[in-house]
Amino acid sequence: MKAHELFRLLSSAEVAALVRSACEDDEVPDKIAGGVLTYQSLTLKRLAKLPEETRKAYVRRTLRDKRAAELSIYVLSAALVRSRRPLIEAFLEAAGLPHEGAHVTVEGAIAQPPPKKIETAVEALLGSFPARDAALYLHAFTAQPDVRWPALEARLASDPRLQVEDLSAS
């Protein structure tokens, strides 16, 4: 599942929380604003005059837009690293991936560990963290351009605990 597809399943409150977390990185607000201007065909002057709730709606619409796929994965990754650091570190450790904190230290493609190791890492997450948080992270992880892990993708598709329930109407 791609990041923009994940954003389509999240509630407005969840999107807002992720955007707030991502915006702790000084570069993210400008990237989001640029994406909104580009993909929603708005001028900066017009965007600035809109009420805050309308601007937030434009941000949600942009992050859910397939055309903004690169922005969506950037924002989702930045948000998860800031807001779900213990979960990410636990997964990377259990999967046996080299990392510094919540960041993988592998350049280029991240080789898939043995399927048994993936199973152990997934079960560790589900045993220690809310299933929705684990599912969101694991789907976001597989959406990364350097990750091609058929074993994890199969697990995400088959395990009901790892389905991201559609809360977009809330």
Cα dihedral 147, 151, 152, 154, rounded to 10, equals: 120
pLDDT value, residue 149: 94
The whole-number pLDDT of residue 22 equals 96
Could you tell me the two tokens for 71? 């922005």
Domain boundary among 64, 82, 100: 82
* pLDDT for the residue numbered 103: 87
Q: Are residues 120 and 100 in the same domain?
A: yes
Burial of 112 (0-12, 13-18, 19+ CB in 10 A): middle
Asked if the structure places residue 27 within a domain, the reply is: yes
Size of the chain, expressed as the number of residues it contains: 170
pLDDT at 38: 95
- Neighbouring C-beta atoms of residue 38, cutoff 10 Å: 13
CA dihedral (9, 84, 79, 155) positive or negative? negative
- In terms of domains, do 25 and 62 share one? yes
- 112 and 56 within one domain: no
Query: What is the domain extent for residue 148?
Result: 85-162
Residue after which a domain boundary falls, among 63, 82, 101: 82
pLDDT of residue 106: 86
Count of domains for the chain: 2
Q: Are residues 117 and 75 in the same domain?
A: no
Query: What is the DSSP secondary-structure string of 96-144?
Result: T--EETTEE---SSBPPPPHHHHHHHHHHHHHHS-HHHHHHHHHHHHHS
What pLDDT sits at residue 148?
A: 92
Is the residue at 169 inside a domain?
no
Query: pLDDT in tens for each of the 170 residues of the chain?
Result: 999 999 999 999 999 999 999 999 999 999 999 999 999 999 999 999 999 999 999 999 999 999 999 999 999 999 999 999 999 999 999 999 999 988 888 888 898 999 999 999 999 999 999 999 999 999 999 999 999 999 999 999 999 999 999 999 87
The answer on 63 and 20 residing in a single domain is yes
Rounded to an integer, what distance in angstroms lies between the CA atom of residue 142 and that of residue 154? 11
33 and 73 assigned to the same domain: yes
Burial 21-31 (b: 16+ CB within 10 A, else e): bbbebeebeeb
In Å, what is the CA distance from 60 to each residue of 34, 72, 96, 166? 14, 10, 35, 15
Residue 1 in contact with residue 143, Cβ under 8 Å? yes
Claim to verify: residue 155 and residue 130 sit in the same structural domain: yes
pTM surpassing 0.85?
A: yes
